[in-house]
Amino acid sequence: MRHPVCRAFFSTQYICGLRIGEARDLPPENVHAAQHRLRIIGKGDKERFVPLPDALLALLRATWCEHRNPTRVFATRPSAPIGRGGTLYDAFDAARKEAGVPHATTHVFRHSYATRLLERGVQLPIVQILMGHANLRSTMIYTHLTEPVRECLRKKIDTFAADLL
Q: What is the pLDDT of residue 19?
A: 93
CB atoms within 10 A of CB 123: 10
Percent of all residues in the chain with a pLDDT value above 70, rounded to a whole number: 96
Q: What is the pLDDT of residues 46-100, one digit of tens each?
A: 999 999 999 999 999 999 998 888 999 998 777 776 766 677 888 888 888 998 9
The region that residue 21 occupies, defined by phi over 0 for left and psi between -120 and 50 for alpha, beta otherwise, is: alpha
Domains contained in the chain, CATH given: 4-164 (1.10.443.10)
- pTM for the complete prediction? 0.83
Catalytic residues: 19, 43, 107, 110, 133, 142
3-class DSSP state of 3: coil
Collapsing DSSP to helix, strand or coil, 61 comes out as helix
- Residue range 112-120: average pLDDT? 90
Q: What is the mean pLDDT of residues 114-128?
A: 91
